[in-house]
Amino acid sequence: MIRIFSALLAFSAFGLYAADKPNILWISSEDNGPHLGCYGDEYATTPNLDALAKRSLRFTRASSNAPVCAPARTTIIGGIYPPSSGAEHMRSQVNLPDGFK
């Protein structure tokens, strides 16, 4: 019973703490470039993403640090370049630096 109460108390505290932080939703869609209605593509049928884009922050001048998707995503998520994380060769099993274990 004490464990359950402790867990509920901890989750309540997390909820109070999170209320002060911004509400961020990160959507990552690869290999589509600007092929969405919100970016002006007349042939794309993306009404839900277009509605979300109207209420959100869109990037119109972004660049990538890697020419392929997996190393680029790894850099965005981890904050380090692909050679530092071992992601430049797109392997599924790599030895991560000590700070990521």
Over the stretch 32-86, which tens digit does the pLDDT of each residue have? Answer: 677 889 989 999 899 998 999 999 888 888 788 888 888 888 888 888 888 888 7
Tell whether pTM > 0.85: no
pLDDT of residue 10: 62
Is 38 in the active site?
no
Distance between CA atoms of 7 and 13, rounded to whole angstroms? 10
What per-residue confidence (pLDDT) applies to 48? 93
3-state secondary structure of 86: coil
Q: Are residues 68 and 88 in the same domain?
A: yes
Domain count across the chain: 2
Is 20 contained in some domain? no
pLDDT value of residue 47? 94
The one catalytic residue among 8, 9, 10, 69:
69
96, 86 Cβ separation under 8 angstroms = yes
Range of the domain at 55: 33-61
